[in-house]
Amino acid sequence: MTQGRPGGGTWAPLWERDEEIGAAERAVSGLCSDMTTEGGLLVFSGDAGIGKTALMAEVRRIAHGRATVWAARGGETLKSVPFNVVRQLLQPALVALSPDEVREYLGDWYEIAGPALGIAEPGGGRPEPQAVCDGLVAVVSRLSRLYWPLVLLVDDAHWADQETLRWLAAFAERLDDLPVLVVVAHRPGEANGDSARHLARIGAAARPATQLRALTPDAAAGLTRATLGEHADAPFCREVWAVTGGNPYESVELLAKVQDAELEPVESSAAELRALNRSARGRGLVARLEELGTDVTRFAWAAAILGSAISVDLAASLAGLPRDGAEQCAERLRAARIVTGGEEGLEFVHPLIASAVYESIPPATRTAMHGRAAWAVTRSGRGAAAASRHLLEVIPDDDPELVEQLREAATEHLAVGAPDAARSCLERALREPPRPAVHARVLYELGCATLLTSPVTTIGHLREALSMRGLSQDLRVDAVCRLSQALVHNDQLGEGLRAITEEAARLPAGTDRLRLQAVHFMWEGIHAGEEDSPG
């Protein structure tokens, strides 16, 4: 029933996880036995606090000293950052290689996958998302042989960015040919749209996919006695289970608070457990945070805005605190089991805590802090794309500078093969809104970003852009060509031809008119071919 913590004692969150740990043991042993052994994929799903992260830590412990382990996790406030999780996984290994070694191992994919991984400058084009995905699959396939045996851990995958999930789904379907073990943990029902579809593909490829269950009353009693002592009586243990619903994280936090309060684990004390449990989550956690003082609260807010690998200096800047004051706040949050970590960066002890703190920030304060975070990131030289996740949260306020920052971020996203992230930036720019002189340009850029992913949306944006002033003649011609392409993709060949014909009629003889005529001949050929086929 129980699992041992390395070095002795009981590792509380891993009670009743023998089956899952056994599967991990077998997968790691099989991976390490022979380089020709096929890879594996384990998927652990379950509600918040059910012990997924603790199980991932156990897999890391099992593989330690036997395999190379790379780990990454998604973040609730980082979902809009393209390639965020795959960069967490691969960048440390790639940065350790010399530039020549990186080029050698990435090979022909260097120009495509390198920018997505943040280790090469974009080449100036707009790579297709599928090409970038294929490049990442090829790169990790090559690295898996270099670093064999290799274990990849992806926690909180429901919060991973779409681009990472697209790669992970494609990579998971190739594991029969690769000496690598992938372990994924996620909450079911948290992702939606394309992210949910990618997670479903990953789950379908898993061997096995396991849904973690809450602890039984017997396990909760064992955990209680292992933490508080064998003298904890049965009614008290039963109430621990009833109050937490057998949730391992809540059980561990509740028992820690019992220890802090020096509460005797007997039936007469059981009535106090519900009040203690409320202080560990939601509004109760926020109230406990507020009791630590205004400075500590603002520092925690700043940390929640930043999300992960939280810099004390940056959090201090957002919270308006001096460095020594920020360090004191961080220490108090560590003592309260709200954050953990040190010089390399702070992390919230659990995503439930991070979510509760973030949601507790007053809306106006939250958007203002996102605005300051965007300014700080830009000032650090990391570029508009890095700041864009904060810019997306700023309240629209007719700010032309913000529109330009979002347009620049969209350009950077497109250059690494992340059109969905570019679309989000440009849609937000439209809500600012843009000045009349650039409004048509933003619509045109949005149409370009959505061209292959949503022809219907592209058609709407490009038609609106063409109905406004602000496009130069060459951009207008390009917009018409793209509009016709989107119409063709949407099975509207006739309308695509008409759009070209009408625009060409407005132009004098010259290069622009010739370009439109060439596109017209191409669509006309397709149109005629469809009408005549198969006669």
pLDDT (tens digit per residue) in 303-324: 999 987 788 998 999 999 999 9
Question: Does 383 map to a domain?
Answer: no
Question: What are 135-155's pLDDT values in tens digits?
Answer: 999 999 988 888 999 999 999
- This prediction has a pTM of 0.88
Q: How confident is the model at residue 376 (pLDDT cuts 50, 70, 90)?
A: confident
What's the gap between Cα 157 and its chain centre?
Answer: 7
Please say if the pLDDT value at position 209 is more than 90. Answer: no
Residue 9 lies in a domain: no
Residue 2 lies in a domain: no
DSSP count for the chain of H helices, then E strands:
26, 7
Tell me whether residue 407 is in a domain.
no
Cβ atoms within 10 Å of 92's Cβ, excluding its own: 12
Q: Name the domain boundary from 263, 278, 293.
A: 278
Of 179, 211, 243, the last residue of a domain is 211
Q: What is the pLDDT of residues 116-139, one digit of tens each?
A: 999 988 877 789 999 999 999 999
Domain match, 89 and 35 both: yes
Judgement on whether residues 105 and 189 belong to the same structural domain of the protein: yes
Query: What mean pLDDT is predicted for residues 408-435?
Result: 94
pLDDT tens for each residue of 249-295: 999 989 988 998 899 999 999 999 998 888 766 677 888 898 999 99
334 and 444 share one domain: no
pLDDT at residue number 413: 95
| CA 364, 367, 373, 376 torsion-angle sign | negative
Q: Considering the domain boundaries, does residue 375 fall inside one?
A: no
474 assigned to some structural domain: yes
Tell me what pLDDT residue 60 has. 95
Range of the domain at 247: 217-278
32, 173: one domain: yes
Per the domain annotation, does 461 fall within a domain? yes
Under 8 Å CB-to-CB from 64, ≥6 apart: which residues?
none
Res 11 pLDDT > 60? no
Same domain, 194 and 270: no
Which of 39, 53, 18 minimizes the C-alpha distance to 347? 53
Domain annotation covers residue 100: yes
pLDDT at 8 exceeding the cut of 50: no
Question: 129 with 419: CB under 8 angstroms?
Answer: yes
Residues 233 and 307 in one domain: no
Which whole-number Å values give the CA distances from 264 to 217, 248, 269, in the listed order?
19, 21, 6
Task: Compute the average pLDDT of residues 346-354.
Answer: 90
Pick from 177, 195, 211: which residue ends a domain?
211
The answer on 70 and 193 residing in a single domain is yes
Task: Say whether both 266 and 127 belong to one domain.
Answer: no
The C-alpha torsion from 245 through 249 and 255 to 256, rounded to 10°, is: -160
10 pLDDT more than 50? no
Q: What is the mean pLDDT of the chain?
A: 89
**Are residues 261 and 121 part of one domain?**
no
Q: In 10 A of CB 9, how many CB atoms?
A: 9
Is residue 54 over pLDDT 50? yes
What's the total number of domains in the chain? 4
Tens digits of residue pLDDT in 186-204:
999 999 999 999 999 999 9
**212 CB burial (10 A radius; 0-12, 13-18, 19+):** middle
- Shared-domain flag, residues 352 and 460: no
Residue 12 is predicted with a pLDDT of: 47
Do residues 235 and 334 share a domain?
Answer: no
What does the pLDDT look like over 24-43, one tens digit per residue? 999 999 999 877 777 799 99
